[in-house]
Amino acid sequence: MKTLLVTPIQKEFDLFVQGCAELGFEADASTIGRLPVRQLPDLNITAACGGLGKVQFAIQTQHLLDARPEWNLVICAGAAGALVDELFPGDIVVATETVEHDIRNKFGKPLLPRYASAANALADLRNGLITPFAFNVRFGPIASGDEDVVDVERRREIHLQTGALAVAWEGAGGARACHFSGVPFIEIRGITDRADMQAPSDFETNLARAMRHIVELLSEWSRKGLGPG
């Protein structure tokens, strides 16, 4: 399986590559199209940075899809805020679907585009990851919108609107690009904050741990011979 992993921002990308190095996975610098990437042959993953926000992320993901049409799976991997009290910094949410929550249409009923995650990847992760981690792995919707959620009332509103466990920015952009190109997509997010007034500082404090835990999950997935490897 040839897997493309795309992080939204450069800091997430750098911490992902750092986490891979800490676990002994070498990353070879390369270029695909106009974008720098890191090849991780032991995981069979190519990692790239997709850019901040749904539109930029969609553009750069589509560029990578067009430049290398052989991808079997695209993973959006990065940080997220928890929308439920059962999630804590360092926990991982694997999206069963990505829900775009910020379309403010006024000419009809609310629009909440939903993009189902790759069925095979979901099944692998649900059934194959039996090794206990030092963090929780939860499965459920992830809300996607270009909005920093730093208020408990807005946190509650998005959860009730979408049923999502976590909220982040770029997933819907990646999902749209993959849907357009017919490539399976899944979003995997590490929790950094609780989408409240402490979110900005919590994000900085917990980002490295969240990205390291994503690497640990992908490493186990690969070791089981089920996923990216």
- pLDDT surpassing 90 at residue 40: yes
Q: Give me the helices (H) in the chain, please.
A: 10-22, 54-67, 119-128, 152-162, 171-181, 199-223
Mean pLDDT score, 163-168: 98
Mean pLDDT score, 13-24: 97
Q: Check residue 226 and give its pLDDT.
A: 52
The DSSP 8-state label assigned to residue 132 in this structure reads: P
In whole angstroms, give the CA distance from residue 193 to residue 108.
34
End-to-end CA distance of the chain: 7
Six-digit token pair at 108? Answer: 């009809």
Q: Does domain 3-223 have CATH number 3.30.70.120?
A: no
What are the sequence ranges of the domains in the chain? 3-223
pTM across the whole model: 0.95
In whole angstroms, give the CA distance from residue 41 to residue 1.
11
Q: Check residue 101 and give its pLDDT.
A: 96
Q: Check residue 109 and give its pLDDT.
A: 77
Q: Check residue 224 and give its pLDDT.
A: 65
Tens-place pLDDT, residues 83-116 = 999 999 999 999 999 999 999 887 887 789 999 9
